[in-house]
Amino acid sequence: MYRPTLLAGAAFLAAGAAHAAAGIEVNQLGFLPAAQKLAVVPAGANDRFKVVDAASGKAVFEGTLGPAATWDASGEAVRIADFSGLRTAGAYRVAVSGQPDSPVFTIGADAYRALDVGAIRAYTLQRASIALDARIAGPYARPLGHPDDKVLVHESAASGTRPAGTVIKSPKGWYDAGDYNKYIVNSGISTYTLLAAYEHFPAWFDKLALNVPETGNGVPDILNEVLWNLDWMATMQDPEDGGVYHKLTNKSFDGMVMPDRATAPRYVVQKTTAAALDFAAVMATASRVLAPFDTKAPGRSQRYLAASERAWRWAVNNPAALYRQPADIRTGTYGDEKVDDEFSWAASELYIATGKDEYRTRALAAAPGVQTEPGWADVRPLGWISLAQQRARLKKPDDADEARRQILAAADKLLARWQASPARLSLAKSDFVWGSNAVVLNQAMMLVQAYRLTHKADYLNAAQSALDYTLGRNPLGMSYVTGFGAHPAMHPHHRPSEADGIAAPVPGWLVGGPNPGQQDAKDCRVAYASKLPALSYLDIACSYASNEVAINWNAPLVYVAAALQSLER
């Protein structure tokens, strides 16, 4: 049914090399029937647009384009086509006379089901310490890599009972990103976001069949997937003092090889305050979300909570153990110089779990300014999300009021930007950092919280726009999710995708996205076509600063797809 337009095809082929105009930009997966449906149209001579049936070419909707305005992040003059009134299931294109049609998209009740399945299964395919056979992984089947059963304690992490060189076991977990290392800080927000997705939308996930190795064991598949990483995280706590290693890593990044070919020695490196607090927050959250499934693993949630409190105690006693990359280690740092937000987040989850005053005080401590969205180094909003959600379980339920105020302040700021933006996006020009596609989806996650608290439609509409952007409503006309949409990213910085001999990348991954920082320029022989924030992207595997994948970036994709499927009625 899909009829590729010449211009869109050319833009796709040229992606990475040069920027060709995207033409009419639209979410290439499509929409749920009741959703707000917007396309972004290059400003031209015509004021009218049509939506046409993809098969017959017959117009099913007509409208007038909004006023032209230039988006500062792309330098392009655009107009909005609003066809929210079209609610009939089908396959369509947006058409404006004098311009090539948009890619085909659908309207349907299951618009994001396959996307959500794919985005979670990306984690399954990203598991360390497991062989993936064809029944689980299809063409992406691969032998076991990184057993992590003989991991060395690095000198930076040495303790009395575990001197440097001690061999420990720390298997399982997900590889962080395009690289094969495992980092607690980034696991923190990633694991929490997936747990929150289940906690907020259990009906959706209870029915979502993911075909993971544990499928059928009585635990929802998304939680089975999360447990693979929780099992690893639990091994990262030093049993002697409750401190948590910052990362488990090679000394240097591996080459672009499959996991089983990457056999360099692995180390646990330095215990840090951020790692202890992110661990404490996730374990306390897991103890809450997984408690109903304790029958499958007696005592598990209690163990999580005990581990969480020990890590908290370590952090209180070591409040300024910031990560300092040792001279012989060259992999990712996830260095965070400010840990107040980690203290608040961990305290929030522990207050919910225990009702203790010590945690309550830290959980509610004054927040400087409005934090619009979470990120790996900015986790305070995660605590607000939990406190608002768990009002009924709080020792003092009114404590949720402050969380609600914080969430609405953040969402209102995002909403104002969305309303004023020529491209109808909550992203500010300055939000185009390394991983900008996750910034916009984390903003959507905050907007979804505001919608859950108020049921005000515009919060959900702004979240919809964020997902639309990542799935094709952007000035490059690309879907930034591998394997989904008419023009998806094809060459992510992702070792298995590069090394597996399969032309298509591993599906279901959100790539980092446009990043004018271009920190990879020295390692890429192809030059970026533009420095403009929304255009500064290369669909080439060398581009780790714009085209890597990462577990923390996929997590809000999982969350937002589930939210729209669950709330868009």
Catalogue the active-site residues. 179, 493, 539, 548
Identify which of residues 358 and 523 has a Cβ nearer to ligand 9MR in the complex.
523
Judged by CB under 6 A, the stretch of 173-181, 355-363, 415-423, 501-509 that binds ligand 9MR is 173-181
Sequence letter at residue 187: S
Residue of 535, 549, 568, 375 whose CA lies nearest to 462: 568
The correct pick among 168, 550, 551, 567 for binding ligand G3I (CB under 6 A) is 550
- What is the C-alpha separation between 195 and 229, in angstroms, rounded? 11
Six-digit token string for 260: 């089983």
Sequence letter at residue 419: Q
Residue 433 interface partner, choices ligand G3I, ligand 9MR, none, CB cut-off 5-8 Å depending on type: ligand G3I
Cβ neighbours of 326 (radius 10 Å): 15
The correct pick among 253, 267, 376, 528 for binding ligand 9MR (CB under 6 A) is 253
Binding of ligand G3I by 83 (CB under 6 A): no
CB of 548 to ligand G3I, least distance (A): 4
Binding of ligand 9MR by 178 (CB under 6 A): yes
| Angle of helix 221-235 versus helix 300-317 axis, rounded to 10 | 40
Identify which of residues 61 and 174 has a Cβ nearer to ligand G3I in the complex.
174
Identify which of residues 349 and 548 has a Cβ nearer to ligand 9MR in the complex.
548
Six-digit token string for 375: 């990120």
- What is the C-alpha separation between 182 and 219, in angstroms, rounded? 25
Residue 295 interface partner, choices ligand 9MR, ligand G3I, none, CB cut-off 5-8 Å depending on type: none
Backbone angles phi, psi at 52, to 5 degrees: -115, 150
CB of 264 to ligand 9MR, least distance (A): 13
- The DSSP code sequence of 167-224 is EE-----B--BSSS-EEHHHHHHHHHHHHHHHHH-HHHHHT-----TTTTSSS-HHHH
**Interactions with ligand 9MR, residue window 111-140 (CB under 6 A):** none
The correct pick among 433, 499, 521, 526 for binding ligand G3I (CB under 6 A) is 433
| Angle of helix 113-124 versus helix 551-567 axis, rounded to 10 | 150
- What is the C-alpha separation between 405 and 411, in angstroms, rounded? 10
Cβ neighbours of 9 (radius 10 Å): 15
CB of 544 to ligand 9MR, least distance (A): 4
Binding of ligand 9MR by 179 (CB under 6 A): yes
Identify which of residues 33 and 375 has a Cβ nearer to ligand G3I in the complex.
375
CB of 252 to ligand 9MR, least distance (A): 8
Cβ neighbours of 78 (radius 10 Å): 23
CB of 536 to ligand G3I, least distance (A): 12
CB of 178 to ligand 9MR, least distance (A): 4
Residue 253 interface partner, choices ligand G3I, ligand 9MR, none, CB cut-off 5-8 Å depending on type: ligand 9MR
- The burial class, CB within 10 Å (0-12 / 13-18 / 19+), for 369 is exposed
Binding of ligand 9MR by 101 (CB under 6 A): no
DSSP secondary structure code for residue 509 in this structure: P
The correct pick among 69, 82, 517, 526 for binding ligand G3I (CB under 6 A) is 517
- What is the C-alpha separation between 106 and 92, in angstroms, rounded? 6
The correct pick among 25, 76, 176, 238 for binding ligand G3I (CB under 6 A) is 176
Cβ neighbours of 14 (radius 10 Å): 14
**Interactions with ligand G3I, residue window 11-40 (CB under 6 A):** none
**Interactions with ligand 9MR, residue window 313-332 (CB under 6 A):** 332
Identify which of residues 124 and 546 has a Cβ nearer to ligand 9MR in the complex.
546
**Interactions with ligand 9MR, residue window 334-393 (CB under 6 A):** none
Identify which of residues 26 and 177 has a Cβ nearer to ligand 9MR in the complex.
177
Residue of 21, 41, 39, 23 whose CA lies nearest to 31: 39
CB of 522 to ligand 9MR, least distance (A): 8
Residue 175 interface partner, choices ligand G3I, ligand 9MR, none, CB cut-off 5-8 Å depending on type: none
The footprint of ligand 9MR on this chain (CB under 6 A) covers a number of residues equal to: 8
Cα angle for residues 419, 442, 292 (degrees, 5° grid): 130
- The burial class, CB within 10 Å (0-12 / 13-18 / 19+), for 425 is buried
Q: Which residue is nearest to ligand G3I (CB)?
A: 332
CB of 17 to ligand 9MR, least distance (A): 20
The correct pick among 116, 241, 548, 568 for binding ligand 9MR (CB under 6 A) is 548
Q: Check residue 361 and give left, alpha or beta (phi > 0: left; psi -120 to 50: alpha).
A: alpha
- Kindly calculate the radius of gyration of the chain based on its CA atoms and give it in whole angstroms: 23
DSSP, collapsed to helix, strand or coil, labels residue 95 as strand
CB of 126 to ligand 9MR, least distance (A): 13
Identify which of residues 177 and 534 has a Cβ nearer to ligand 9MR in the complex.
177
Binding of ligand 9MR by 553 (CB under 6 A): no
Identify which of residues 108 and 335 has a Cβ nearer to ligand G3I in the complex.
335
Do 189 and 374 meet the contact criterion of CB atoms below 8 Å apart?
yes
Identify which of residues 90 and 517 has a Cβ nearer to ligand G3I in the complex.
517
Sequence letter at residue 403: A
**Binding track over 306-335 against ligand G3I, x by CB under 6 A:** --------------------------xxx-
Backbone angles phi, psi at 92, to 5 degrees: -140, 170
Which residues of the chain form contacts with ligand G3I (CB under 6 A)? 176-179, 332-334, 375, 430, 433-435, 517, 519, 544, 548, 550
Which residues of the chain form contacts with ligand 9MR (CB under 6 A)? 177-179, 253, 332, 523, 544, 548
